[in-house]
Amino acid sequence: MSEVASTHEHVAAETGSMQGVDNRKFGVWLFIASEVMFFMALIGMFLAYRGLPGWADFHHLLDVPLTAINTFILLTSSLFVVLAVNAAQQDNRRGLSLWLLLTAVFGAVFVGIQAFEYGKLFSEGASLSADVFGSVFFTTTGFHGLHVIIGILWCLAALLRATRGGFSGGRYMAVELFGLYWHFVDVVWIILFMLIYLI
Amino acid sequence: MTAEPTKAHVKPTKYVIVFVVLAVVTGIEFLIGSIIGQPENAGIHTLGVAALIILSLIKAALVMMFFMHLKYDSKYYSLMLLFPIFMAALLAVIVIIAANYNPIA
């Protein structure tokens, strides 16, 4: 499978391939599908254990306003990603680099705020092994945070390639694929924020 | 040869509009969460929870349709996602029912 430098959109030409489907993009969507199952397992765990004795003890320690701001930060980073893809489509290298940099920065801010909240909870005695809530909360949000960190590293790799002109001439599929992953991480947080912090 | 990435079907302004909608809905969710969290509002808790779930699903759908481009891409991507989304929903329903009938002690 070779990357063709072309600014013209055309359907897949491989024998037996689905009309309009890019194998690389389909592969990432398959990966996202598997991640849906992974996070649903964690969310299922949350739904199963929620409300058990000791559950509410630490819930009141969650900083909902701060996390709402954090949710806004992650949503904003998603906007930056689509603007980055748009810049890549326009062959705007500076714009692409700027939006990718902002995405990484906002992602890092999100992780930083999460780490700050973790510190507050640890100081109050919450932990993975403290009780049911701690086990479920830190596992679920921890895995999400790990996905964000991986996304930041991916973003920085894309940024490096962008600054070297690696996405010029219509070859920006890698940016779009990163975008799919980042948006998925955002969607997971949309669900987690609602389930864990608001309900 | 493989299909090149999709051309921009959405103008940047539309992305910003979607983002503003997402931000506003997030604010509404925060308000609803604050309201139903008050003990005196226990009577509307279930309604509030339903509203939060619906709003979150709307946000997720907006991100997937516009930011992830599902609205403009081949329908095969959306079709492929249907199974895990169905399984996820099924798991949620089964877990909630099971937890209510036989609480894990």
DSSP A115-133: HHHHHHHHHTT--TTT-HH
Q: Indicate the pTM of the whole model.
A: 0.89
Closest partner residue to A79 among B16, B33, B69, by Cβ? B16
Delimit the domains of chain A by residue range. Answer: 23-198
Among A33, A82, A172, select the one facing B84 at the smallest CB separation: A33
Residue A16's pLDDT band, with cuts at 50, 70 and 90, is: low
Using alpha carbons only, what angle is made at residue A76 by residues A72 and A78, rounded to the nearest 5 degrees?
120
Q: Are the Cβ atoms of A18 and B1 closer than 8 angstroms? A: no
Chain B partners of A14 at a C-beta cutoff of 8 Å?
1-2
pLDDT in tens, A74-130: 999 999 999 999 999 999 999 999 999 999 999 999 999 999 999 999 998 888 888
Q: Which long-range contacts (CB under 8 A, 24 or more apart) does A155-163 make?
A: A155/A100, A155/A103, A155/A104, A155/A107, A155/A182, A156/A104, A158/A100, A159/A97, A159/A100, A159/A101, A159/A104, A162/A88, A162/A93, A162/A96, A162/A97, A162/A100, A163/A93, A163/A97
Neighbours of B82 (CB within 10 A): 10
Alpha carbon of A78: minimum distance to chain B alpha carbons (Å): 8
Q: Do A1 and A12 contact (CB within 8 A), yes or no? A: no
- Asked if A102 and A80 touch (Cβ cutoff 8 Å), the reply is yes
Residue A9's pLDDT is 44
Lowest mean pLDDT among A39-53, A138-152, B42-56: A39-53
Q: What's the mean per-residue pLDDT of chain B? A: 86
Between CA A87 and CA A1 the distance in angstroms is 25
Reported ipTM: 0.86
Minimum distance, in Å, between the CA of residue B91 and any CA atom of chain A? 7
DSSP H helices in A90-197? 93-123, 132-163, 173-192
Phi, psi of A39 (to 5 degrees): -70, -30
CB < 8 Å & 24+ apart, contacts of A84-89:
A84/A175, A84/A179, A85/A172, A85/A175, A85/A176, A85/A179, A85/B8, A86/B8, A86/B12, A86/B15, A88/A162, A88/A167, A88/A172, A88/A175, A88/A176, A89/A172, A89/B5, A89/B7, A89/B8
Give how far Cα B69 sits from Cα of A134, A152, A184, Å. 36, 21, 12
Interface of B with A in 42-81 (CB under 8 A): 49, 52-53, 55-56, 59-60, 63-64, 66-69, 73-74, 76-77, 80-81
Size of interface A-B (CB pairs under 8 A): 173
With an 8 Å Cβ cutoff, is B12 touching chain A?
yes
Supply the pLDDT for residue B105: 55
Contact residues on chain A for B99, CB-CB shorter than 8 A: 47-48, 50-51
Q: Is the pLDDT of residue A170 over 90?
A: no
pLDDT at A20 over 70: yes
Q: Does B84 touch chain A (CB under 8 A)?
A: yes
Chain B residues whose CB is inside 8 A of the A184 CB are: 68
Vertex B76 angle, CA A19 and B81, to 5°: 160
Model confidence at B102, in pLDDT bands (50, 70, 90)?
A: low
Q: Does domain A23-198 have CATH number 1.20.120.80?
A: yes
